[in-house]
Amino acid sequence: MKEEQNHVNPIFDFVTRWLPISVLAIFFVTALFADFLANDKPIYAKVGDNTYWPVWESIIGAENDMSLNWRITDPDFAIYPMFPFSDHSSPNLSIRYKGPGTTSERNGRQFTHWLGTDRLGRDVAANMIHGCRKSLLVGFLAMILAAVIGITLGIVAGYWGDHKRYIHPMMAILILFLTAHALFLLINGLAYGLPLLLLFLVLFALLQFTSSDHTGRWPLLLDSVTLRLIEVFNSVPGLLLLLVVGSMFSRPSLVGVAVLIGLLRWTRFARFCRGEVLKAKEGEFITAAQVAGQSDASVIWRYLLPEIVGPLVVVFVFGVASAIILESTLSFLGIGVPVEQITWGSLLGQAKYNLNAWWLAVFPGLAIFLLIVSLNYFGDQMRRKAG
C-alpha cells in the first residue's frame, strides 16, 4: 500500500486537492464582491476638485438626489471595475449579439464586452458575475430550508420511531381538527391561516401533549408518517411540480423559487438523517446519556446532532449543487423566475434564439458546470474524510 502512495504524482495530487476548493473560493469571492467586479459606476472618480467612490456609495445606500448620474457624467479621472457594466443596465438594442471582445462606447470612452452581449445588448460577463451571486443565494437558501425541515423530521422519525410516544385520543383529534381548519383558511386565501397552521404545527412538534405512557392512548406513528411523506414527495417529479407551481406565482421571485426547491428537496435530508440517527442511537454514549437522566431534547441536541452533523454537511453540499441546477433549468425555460432577473440559466436560454451567438451557449453553461463539478468534488472529498 505504502509503495503505491509514493507513486502519486505530486502535481496531480496538488491539483486534485486544491483546484476544486480554489474554484469554489473564486465563486464565493465573485458572489461577495460582484458590485466591485461588474458595475457601470466607477470605483473611484475625480470630477473637478471632488473625489467620489460611487460603487461604495451605492452599496451602503449613501446615494441621494445630489449624486452624479454616472451613466452620463464623464469624470476627469476614474478607475472602473474590471467589467464596467451592471446587471441592471438598460437594454441597448444597437449592440445586441456582439461577440466577445467587441467594444461599445459610453461617455466618449470605449468599454470592452469581454464575453459579448446578449440579445438585448446587455453585457454577458457582468451578468454572469451577478448571476453567480443569485445562483449561490438560491442554492444555499433552498438547502437551509430543506435541511431544517428534513433534519427535524428525520430526527423525530429516527429517534422516537413508531411506538415511543403516545397521545391522548381527544388531544390527537383536537390537533388534527385545528390543523385542518387552518388549512381550510389557507386554501381560501384567508391570511391568518398560515400563522395559525404554523402555531398548531409547532405545538404538535413540541410534543407537549404526548407522553411515553401508552395506557388508553394512541401511538404517534412518527416514523411511518415521515416515510410515507418522503414517498409521496419522491413520486412527483420535482422539476415538473416546480415548473407548475412556479408558473402559478402571481409575482415570481428568486426567493420564491428557492423556497419551493427547499420544500421539495427536504426528503434526502430526512431519509439520510433518519438512517444516521438509527445507527447512532445504538451507541453506548446515547444510552449512557439517557440513563443519566438527560431529557430527550438534550440527548438529541448535545449528543446525537454532533454525531451526525459531518455526513449531513456532505448531503448539504450535494443538495446545493442540485438546487442550483434546478434553478438554472427553471430560468433556462423562463418559468417561475422573473424576466428582469438575469441568471446563468436565462443567459444560456437565449442561445436557442440565435445559433450564431456561441458565447451565450458556452460561457454561462461553463460557469454552471464549474460550480457544480467543484461542489460535487468538494462533497466527495468530505465524504471520504467523514467515512
Partner 1 sequence: MAFYILRRLVWILPTVLLVLVITFVLTRMPPGDPIYQLYSSQDSPDSDLTLSENQYNMGMKELGLDRPLFYVEIVPFHHPDTLYKIPLRERGLVHLLLRDYRNWDEIESFRKTLKRYMTEMRSQSPERFSTIARLVYGKPITKDLNLAIQTLVTDSPDSPILQSYGDLQNSRLGLIRFLPTIKWRGSNNQFHNWLNNLFRLDFGISRIDARPVATKVGEALSWTLFINIISILLAYLISIPLGMYMGWYHRSRWLRAVRIFLYAIYAVPIFWLATLLVVFFTTSEYGSWTNIFQSVGIWQATTGDSFAGLLAQNAGQFVIPILCLTLSITAYVSRQVESSVNEEKTKRYILQTKAKGLGDHSIIWKHLFRNSSFPLITLISGILPASISGSLVLEVICNIPGMGRLLVDAIFGQDWSVVILVVFISSFLTIIGLLLSDILYRIADPRLQTEV
Question: Is residue 198 near partner 1 by the rule CB under 8 A?
Answer: no
Q: What separation in angstroms does the CA of 140 have from each of 95, 152, 236, 334?
A: 35, 18, 23, 21
**Binding test (CB under 8 A) with partner 1, winner from 248, 291, 292, 339:** 248
According to DSSP, residue 189 is labeled T
Nearer to partner 1, 206 or 232 (CB): 232
Question: Is residue 325 near partner 1 by the rule CB under 8 A?
Answer: yes
Binding residues with partner 1: total (CB under 8 A): 52
From the CB of 325, what's the least distance to partner 1, in Å? 5
- What is the grid cell recorded at 232? 409521496
Nearer to partner 1, 78 or 153 (CB): 153
From the CB of 247, what's the least distance to partner 1, in Å? 4
From the CB of 172, what's the least distance to partner 1, in Å? 16
Nearer to partner 1, 101 or 195 (CB): 195
DSSP labels, 83-149: B---TTPPP-GGGTTPPTTEEEEETTEEEEETT-B-TTS-BHHHHHHHHHHHHHHHHHHHHHHHHHH
Are 111 and 104 contacting, i.e. CB atoms less than 8 angstroms apart? yes
Q: CB under 8 Å to 329, separation ≥6 — which residues?
A: 239, 345
Question: Is residue 187 near partner 1 by the rule CB under 8 A?
Answer: yes
Binding mask 345-384 for partner 1 (x = CB under 8 A): x--x--xx--xx-x--xx--x--xx--xx--x--------
According to DSSP, residue 236 is labeled S
Of 274-303, binders to partner 1 (CB under 8 A) are none
From the CB of 365, what's the least distance to partner 1, in Å? 4
Q: What separation in angstroms does the CA of 333 have from each of 255, 345, 346?
A: 17, 8, 7
* Look-up of cell digits 471632488: 50
From the CB of 52, what's the least distance to partner 1, in Å? 40
**Binding test (CB under 8 A) with partner 1, winner from 14, 18, 184, 301:** 184
Whole-angstrom Cα distance, residue 331 to residue 349? 8
Nearer to partner 1, 306 or 334 (CB): 334
Of 203-242, binders to partner 1 (CB under 8 A) are 228, 231-232, 234-241
Q: What is the edge-to-edge ordering of all strands in the sheet holding 166-167?
A: 210-211, 166-167, 218-219
Whole-angstrom Cα distance, residue 30 to residue 36? 9
Nearer to partner 1, 24 or 45 (CB): 24
Q: List contacts with partner 1 (CB under 8 A).
A: 177-178, 180-181, 184-185, 187-190, 192, 196, 228, 231-232, 234-241, 243-245, 247-250, 321, 325, 328-329, 332-333, 335, 345, 348, 351-352, 355-356, 358, 361-362, 365, 368-369, 372-373, 376
